[in-house]
Amino acid sequence: MTKEEFVACIKKDVYDSAIEITRSLLEEPPGRSPSPESVKRSQWFKRLPPEDKEQIQGIIQEAAHAAVFEMMVVLDGVGGNINPPGENGGELELWHITDTQLSLLNSPDGEELHDIFNGLMSPEETD
């Protein structure tokens, strides 16, 4: 697996899914007895005019983008601090391992994961 393939999978299976799940929760909370909070949010959302619903969709996309982007920054080792309290230093390595291949996905060589992720975004997803 290449860095690009990894990031494309994360975009599809994490970013796109988070947006779709959140939208779906607002439109129709799942289950026989959804939480009262979910029902209340859904009822509120359904009463919004279309232009406000569009703004909410944009906020959901921004939140999903920020979460995935910041995770990629941490994986790249260029931001954030994931060391336990009291520990300094250390490196984070992200490996993809198969029976025949070993790939370091966050190697310092080449483009960084967060830049690859941003490259996959359409203009409306990064506004």
pLDDT in tens, the chain (127 residues): 999 999 999 999 999 999 999 999 999 998 889 999 999 999 999 999 999 999 999 999 999 999 999 999 999 988 777 777 777 777 888 999 999 999 999 988 889 999 999 999 877 665 5
- Radius of gyration (Cα) for the chain, nearest Å? 18
pTM: 0.85
In degrees, to the nearest 5, what angle opens at C-alpha 24 toward C-alphas 20 and 26?
A: 125
Centre a 10 Å sphere on the Cβ of residue 43 and count the other Cβ atoms it contains. Answer: 11
Confidence (pLDDT) at 82: 76
